[in-house]
Structures are given as structure tokens and as C-alpha cells.
Amino acid sequence: MKMVKVCCCTLAVTLCAAAASPAWAATEQKVDNGTNQSPVRFSVVQWNIGHFALGKNSQTAISPEESPARRAAYRAMIAQLKPDFLGVSEFDPIFDKAGRLSTNEVFSSFPTMILGPKNHYQCNALFTRFPCVRYEIVNYTLHRQNVYFIDSVFLFGTNEVHFVQSHLDWYRTKDGKRYALPQMRQLVKHFKDMPYVIISADFNVPEIGHFDAFKKAGYVVANDGRYAVLDNVVVKGFDVKELFAADNERRLSDHRIVGCVLEMRQK
């Protein structure tokens, strides 16, 4: 397997050939450039993983003694979900207090890893079975924390799909409205000319009405209120075929895992 790695103190990206897709999707992800195209369908999971500290700290709380059992629990959850795209908010590059890397301990089954910079509580990552064409990290114009989004581009047939991973400012602070909602509007504006967009994020908003800027721009909100809406997947150019959640009973994170199955619309 050919592999290219780019690393620095704040960003690490691993790009290589895509691994085998889950069995349920294998026949549906074959795309040709002719007139007889099979539907492009894949699963997306959004998980605020709480820095491996149940969200109580911005650094891992896992001791070396706990590490083997915790490693097995995280890997078992991912194996159960079998996501094609796994977007992670509040990511920590370090898995335990012995300094083991979480990419090795938890996410090694994914051939493509895109890790954003860690700024205290802010750190985003994307793990996927598909090769990435290019990516960029974009800071929000108006912000309180050092929030940003990762824009990663993937090619399905001749169509570019922008997969966005992010974590917005907390809406419920005294001046939260000044930041979270404008950040949503910035995302809409940034991708206004892109036909295929997937935004996976901890949007940090408590009500489905806060997603109106996306809806007015033609997006579909996957988690439409069936679960707490702060963790969500918002899409343009896709139909949501299935919505699901995994309750980890607060053993792995302080957030519920939310996921969906998407099918690309034909132009």
C-alpha cells in the first residue's frame, strides 16, 4: 500500500489507498463515468469524543493501567458502527498518559486520517476509508475560542465532495449567539457554489431552529431533533436515507454518537 505522510507540530495527515468498504455498502459505492451509475451511498458518523476525558478536560484522562481496556472499548465501538467517514470533535492526538498516539491505539483501521491543530478544547479530525484529494483548514472570522473547520475534498466519479469537520463556539454562553450562528452562516457562504457538501460537527446549539440558515440554503439536517441536535450532520446534494445513534452510556464520551447513511443526488 502506497502511503504519504505529512506531519508537523499542529497537523498530521495520512493519505493512502482506500480500504475495503463495509459489506452492506460495497455494491453501492461502485461509480463509473458513464450513464449507468450505481447510487453513491456511504455512512457518516459524528462523534465528540471529549479528549478521552469524558469532556471534563482538554487532555486525556486515561492512565497507562486503563489503556488496554479503554483502547479495546473505543475500537469495538468503531467496529460496531463501521463508518465510511468518522468525524471527531474534541479530538486528542494523545490517547493515554503514557503518550501513546490515538491514531495508533484507536483509529488505525482507517487508511486516511486528517488531523487539525489542537487549541485547548478545540481539535477536529476526520477518519475515512476514501483517499482525500486535498484539504485546507479555515478559521472562523468571528469567534471566541480558536475554532476552525477542516475542508477535505473527495472524488466520487467526476464529482467533488467537500467533507467539513468542525466544532463551533458554545451557544449557551452569555454572548454565544454572537459566535455560533454567524459561524453557521460563514459555512453556508463558504460553500455556496459547491453542489456536494457534508458538514459534520458539534454545532453547540440546543434547538433545531438554529439550523435555519442551512435549511434556507438548501441543506438537509440529518438529525432533525430525534436526538440532541448539537451533534449533527448537515448535507447538500445528498438524501438522508437513515439516521442512527449509539448511546455509549457515558463510558467513552459525554456526547452521544450520531450518524447517517447518505445517498448522492444525481445532477
Does any domain span residue 8? no
Residue 4 inside a domain? The answer is no
Distance CA(235)–CA(181), nearest Å, equals: 17
Instruction: Please count the structural domains in the chain.
Output: 1
Alpha-carbon gap, residue 199 to 197, rounded angstroms: 7
pTM: 0.86
Residues 6+ positions from 210 with CB-CB distance below 8 Å: 171, 180, 181, 184, 203, 229
Give the pairing of strands 159-167 and 197-202: parallel
Classify residue 84: in a domain, yes or no.
yes
pLDDT of residue 31: 42
Q: What range does the domain containing 134 cover?
A: 39-264
Contact 164, 198 (CB under 8 A): yes
Burial of 261 (0-12, 13-18, 19+ CB in 10 A): buried
Tens of each residue's pLDDT in the chain, 267 residues: 323 233 333 333 443 333 333 332 333 444 433 345 688 999 999 999 999 999 888 899 999 999 999 999 999 999 999 999 999 999 999 999 999 999 999 999 999 999 999 988 899 999 999 999 999 999 999 998 889 999 999 999 999 999 999 999 987 666 667 899 999 999 999 999 999 999 999 999 989 999 999 999 999 999 999 999 999 999 999 999 999 998 766 789 999 999 999 999 987
Q: Is residue 143 in some structural domain?
A: yes
Please report the pLDDT score of residue 99 as a whole number.
Answer: 97
Look at residue 22 in the predicted model and tell me its pLDDT: 35
**At a CB cut-off of 8 Å and minimum separation 6, what does 221 contact?**
208, 211, 214, 215, 229, 232, 234
Helix (H, G, I), strand (E, B) or coil at 244: strand
Question: Quick check: is 13 in a domain?
Answer: no
CB of 234 closer than 8 Å to CB of 217: no
Q: What is the pLDDT of residue 215?
A: 97
| Angstrom distance (rounded) from CA 262 to CA 127 | 17
Q: What is the pLDDT of residue 173?
A: 64
Flag whether 159 is in a domain.
yes
The answer to whether 55 and 90 have CB atoms below 8 angstroms apart is yes
231 is a domain residue: yes
Residue at 200 is within a domain: yes
How far is 41 from 225, CA to CA, in rounded Å?
A: 23
The CATH number of whichever domain residue 63 belongs to comes to 3.60.10.10
Here the cell at position 181 is 450562528
